[in-house]
């Protein structure tokens, strides 16, 4: 029996370069089904549902949807709200009033948990209803997934940024520290390693939250590289922690937290400045710079992986197909089936919600200050076609005539 009613699609958490591909995948696929009476987009995620702030996407042109698909950040805007029971009852009041029978929420593990709670409520109140979580996060930290839409494009940005920083640092030598997002997972920071083309290319050091950050080892590492090359490029994850699991950034000052209790790690240059000062003060190197990549890495217009675009579109389409054709709930997960191909499955919400995937040990070197080739093998196909690379001059040295 076909379940007739409206679709609501929403976007939660931090924006990505391809989150609108998933939105457009849901909308275009849902609009094909006769039992779908309308396709609504909730403005500002779950907050828009309780406020009945809906766009009627059944009345959006396909042409404009395709243009929105290639626009980064969340076209329906976002929220950090995480519904509790009372919030969920409000959501249901609205869903029932509007005869919403399908709910698609594009987001990370917090959003997956929201879908799980909403779904529980539906079961309890015997309201026939399908809810599907569509994966998205630049942090790449969703369990079960080989990788997550949004990550490949952000990784491409980080890789291209470090290729440039490495060249800049070679031209005007010194120490450069680049601070990358990713919270507790090091995948995004690890993407910097793609810049290592020529033997002396940076980043020479890569620090991840998966390994304890020890100040003395950090300084010894920097000194060793600087003594060898006269320069040092370092990629550091915003979420690096000491041996007790205390984020290094908290050693600075009281930081603000979002409504999920997550620490504010971005939108400040503090961690980079702290590390730069450490190097200056302890190693006596004069030219030490730090860049915090900030919001550019998740919303920069014009740096996108075509593999990521395609997959983000497909997880949206598959979500609509699973829910509408097959009448089942869950979280869409991406599984690698070759080098390089993927398959989409529907996994149980409780197996994804609220959990965090970290870099596996085989992606990190023994000293914990760089990545392995295994990681580069994992990342390379995700960056898609047309990944640029840098070229150096290879001309021979001219003979010196003045014997200096």
Q: Catalogue the active-site residues.
A: 139
d(CA 361, CA 374): 10
Q: Which residue has the tokens 């937290």?
A: 257
Question: Which stretches within 256-358 are classed as H helix?
Answer: 270-283, 296-299, 306-326, 349-352
DSSP-derived 3-state class of residue 351? helix
181 annotated as ligand-binding: yes
Give least dist CB 91 to its own copies, A: 12
Q: What is the DSSP string of 236-251?
A: EETT-B-TTS-BGGGG
Task: Using the minimum distance from each CB to its own copies, give the nearer residue, 37 or 372.
Answer: 37
Q: Given the complex with its own copies, which of 51 and 365 has the nearer CB atom? A: 51
Shortest distance, CB of residue 293 to its own copies, whole angstroms? Answer: 7
Residue 70 or 358 with smaller CB distance to its own copies: 70
Q: Which residues of 4-29 are buried (b: 16+ CB within 10 A; e: fewer)?
A: ebbbbbbbbbbbbbbbbbbbbbbbbb
| Residue 139 known to bind ligand | yes
Strands (E), 188-244: 205-207, 232-237
Closer Cβ to its own copies, 294 or 368, answer by number: 294
101 annotated ligand binder = no
Q: How far is the CB of 335 from its own copies (least distance, A)?
A: 29
* Triad 247, 210, 159: Cα angle to 5°: 100
Count of CB atoms situated within 10 Å of the CB of 171: 8
In the complex with its own copies, the residue whose CB is nearer, 62 or 327, is: 62
Q: Residues 343-347: contacts with CB within 8 Å, 24+ apart?
A: 344/314, 344/315, 344/318, 346/132, 346/318, 346/322, 347/144
What span, in angstroms and rounded, lies between the C-alpha atoms of 169 and 167? 5
291 annotated to bind ligand: no
Q: Is 1 annotated as a binding residue?
A: no
CB of 276 to its own copies, least distance (A): 7
Residue 36, annotated as binding a ligand: no
Question: What is the closest distance, in whole angstroms, from the C-beta atom of residue 148 to its own copies in the complex?
Answer: 18
Q: Are strands 175-180 and 205-207 parallel, antiparallel or unpaired?
A: unpaired
Q: Which residues are annotated as a binding site for Mg(2+)?
A: 109
Q: Which residues are annotated as a binding site for substrate?
A: 137-139, 181-183, 238, 295-298
Q: Which residues are annotated as a binding site for diphosphate?
A: 14
């Amino acid at each position: 029996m076909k379940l007739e009613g409206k679709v609501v699609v929403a976007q939660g958490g931090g924006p990505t370069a391809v989150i609108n591909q998933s939105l457009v995948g849901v909308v275009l696929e849902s609009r094909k089904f006769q039992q779908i009476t309308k396709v609504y987009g909730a403005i500002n995620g779950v907050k828009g549902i309780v406020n009945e702030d809906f766009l009627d996407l059944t009345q959006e042109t396909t042409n404009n949807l395709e243009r929105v698909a290639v626009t980064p950040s969340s076209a329906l805007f976002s929220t950090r709200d995480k519904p509790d029971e009372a919030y969920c009852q409000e959501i249901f009041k609205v869903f029932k009033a509007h005869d919403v029978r399908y709910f698609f929420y594009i987001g990370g593990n917090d959003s997956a948990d929201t879908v799980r709670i909403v779904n529980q409520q539906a079961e309890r109140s015997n309201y026939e209803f399908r809810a599907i979580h569509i994966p998205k996060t630049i942090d790449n930290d969703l369990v079960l997934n080989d990788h997550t839409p949004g990550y490949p494009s952000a990784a491409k940005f980080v890789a291209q940024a470090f290729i440039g920083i490495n060249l800049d640092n070679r031209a005007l030598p010194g120490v450069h520290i680049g601070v990358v997002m990713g919270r507790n997972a090091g995948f995004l920071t690890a993407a910097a390693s793609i810049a290592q083309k020529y033997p002396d290319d940076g980043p020479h050091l890569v620090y991840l939250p998966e390994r304890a950050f020890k100040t003395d080892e950090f300084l010894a590492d920097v000194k060793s590289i600087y003594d060898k090359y006269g320069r040092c490029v370092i990629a550091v994850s915003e979420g690096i922690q000491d041996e007790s699991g205390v984020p290094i950034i908290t050693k600075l000052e009281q930081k603000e937290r979002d409504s999920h209790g997550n620490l504010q790690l971005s939108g400040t240059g503090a961690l980079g400045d702290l590390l730069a000062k450490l190097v200056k003060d302890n190693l006596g190197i004069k030219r030490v710079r730090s860049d915090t990549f900030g919001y550019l890495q998740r919303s920069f217009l014009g740096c996108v992986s075509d593999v990521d675009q395609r997959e983000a579109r497909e997880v949206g389409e598959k979500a609509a197909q699973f829910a509408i054709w097959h009448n089942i709930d869950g979280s869409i997960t991406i599984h690698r089936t070759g080098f390089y191909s993927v398959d989409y499955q529907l996994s149980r919400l409780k197996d994804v919600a609220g959990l965090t995937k970290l870099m596996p040990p085989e992606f990190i070197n023994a000293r914990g200050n760089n990545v392995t080739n295994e990681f580069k093998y994992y990342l390379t196909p995700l960056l898609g076609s047309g990944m640029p690379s840098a070229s150096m001059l290879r001309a021979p040295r001219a003979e010196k005539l003045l014997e200096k």
